[in-house]
Copies of this chain bind each other. A is one copy, B any other.
Amino acid sequence: MIKATVYVTIKQSVLDPQGNAVQGALHSMGFAEVGKVRIGKYLELELDTDNREEAEARLKEMCEKLLANTVVEDYRFELA
A56 to chain B, nearest CB (A): 13
In the complex, which range does the number of interface residues on chain A fall in? 35 or more
The complex is assembled from copies of this chain, and their number is 2
The minimal Cβ–Cβ distance linking A42 to chain B, given in whole angstroms, is: 4
Contacting pair B1 A31 (CB below 8 A): no
A25 vs B43: C-alpha distance when bound (angstroms): 14
With A43-B37, A43-B40, A49-B33 known to touch, is A25 a contact of B66 (CB < 8 Å)? yes
Q: Which residues of A does B touch, CB under 8 Å?
A: 1, 7-9, 19, 22, 25-26, 29, 31-49, 55, 58, 61-62, 65-67
The 4 A-B residue pairs with the shortest CB-CB distance in the complex, in nearest-first order: A35-B46, A42-B42, A40-B42, A33-B48
